[in-house]
Amino acid sequence: MIITCIADNIEDLNKLVIQSNKIAEITNAEIHVILFKYYFKEAEIERIKNEINANKIILLNNILLMKYDYEAFANAIIEYYKKYKSDIFLFNNSIASKELATILSSKINVPALLDIKELNFIEGKIIVKKEFAGGVYYAEYETSLPLILSFLELEETYNSKINRSKQFEEMLVNTNVSRVIIRHVKKLNARIKELRNAKRIICVGEAIREKTDLKDLFEIANYLGAEISCSRFLSTRRKWFDEWIGISGVRVKPDIYIGMGISGEPFHVAGILNSKKILAITTDPESEIIEFADYIVICDIYKIIPKLVKRLRKSIRYA
């Protein structure tokens, strides 16, 4: 068996190799590491040669392997695959690596199971435990090799019993220019960073009928030192906010999340699961968010918001 590790940074690459060594104790696998020239610097390649506990370190070299050309990366990996027939491709958990894993999966017709929790070998079967919809659901899969995998969390330390040989090989690979050209890569805007770092968040749903009704909510947020955002519906349909909270938007982890009129669709809940406390204010006692909430208020938000504003004004006045 061959386990092939592919990551876009040294720290995650080291963790992948640690994870691979743990698997190799059970399967007696050989561990390969793939590096892309023009992606890792020469000093980083030398560091990998010295520090990574793998059987082979393979540098894929082609002038077309530029930083964001995932299709060219996938084609280069296929050249490696033709030679070595890897049984498990193990990717790190970055967005770039998961996109590459998906493209590779379609090209070589090998299933990709991403964000897995566990990998077990039981009586000749491969059992994979996996979260999906951002951890709202959980499933167990039975599958077979070859596989493309990424772990949700990786081992950071493991004392392998085997000191591997670290053979280095440079492969000049043939690959064509990608048909998909990434024209621009833009940093996350400051607003998204603010939401990700916020300790308190008020999130509004489609139960808010008019945009002018947000005025009181912004006042509440100001008193509480909270950021305010919305569900995907208010952002994409009504265009009230540029960003939204959810698995397809921004994932947050505040000390307190307050949902105002949020129904709790799985893809929204996935974005708030790491909140320390969740308060749901809703008129629907059967809304899905209640299942995940620590505190629940069944009430018309148009009745509770004015009272909350009045109470907060009074508290500030006498503070």
155 close to 19: Cβ distance less than 8 angstroms: yes
Verify that 34 and 125 share a domain, yes or no: yes
Per-residue confidence at 68, pLDDT binned at 50, 70, 90? low
Asked if residue 133 and residue 23 are part of one domain, the reply reads: yes
**Where do we find the tokens 């949020």?**
262
Lowest mean pLDDT among 96-100, 146-150, 195-199: 96-100
* Residue 182 is assigned to a structural domain of this protein: no
- pLDDT on residue 77: 92
Flag whether 184 is in a domain: no
pTM: 0.64
Same-domain pairing of 34 and 140: yes
* CATH code (residue 313): 3.40.50.1220
Q: What is the total count of domains within the chain? A: 2
Q: What is the mean pLDDT of residues 170-194?
A: 71
Residues in the chain: 319
Q: Which of 144-148, 172-176, 281-285 has the lowest mean pLDDT?
A: 172-176
User: Are residues 53 and 93 located together in one domain of the fold?
Assistant: yes
Same domain for 168 and 26 = yes
Does residue 167 share a domain with residue 45? yes
The pLDDT tens digits of the residues spanning 233-256 come to: 888 888 888 889 988 788 999 999
Residue where a domain stops, chosen among 137, 172, 207: 172
Co-location of 119 and 41 in the same domain: yes
Question: Any idea which residue has 């039975």 for tokens?
Answer: 142
Model confidence over 255-271: pLDDT tens digits?
A: 999 999 998 888 899 89
Identify whether residues 198 and 167 lie together within a single domain. Answer: no
DSSP secondary structure letters along 124-167: TEEEEEEEEGGGTEEEEEEE-SSEEEEESS--S----S-----E
In a domain, residue 185? The reply is no
Domain annotation covers residue 109 = yes
CATH of the domain at 92: 3.40.50.620
**Shared-domain flag, residues 148 and 228:** no
Same domain, 146 and 233: no
Burial class (CB in 10 A: 0-12, 13-18, 19+), 139: exposed
Residues 225 and 301 in one domain: yes
Looking at residue 314, what is its pLDDT? 83
Identify the pLDDT of residue 168.
92
**In terms of domains, do 251 and 284 share one?**
yes
* Domain hosting residue 116, numbered range: 2-172
Q: What pLDDT does residue 270 have? A: 87
pLDDT for the residue numbered 64: 64
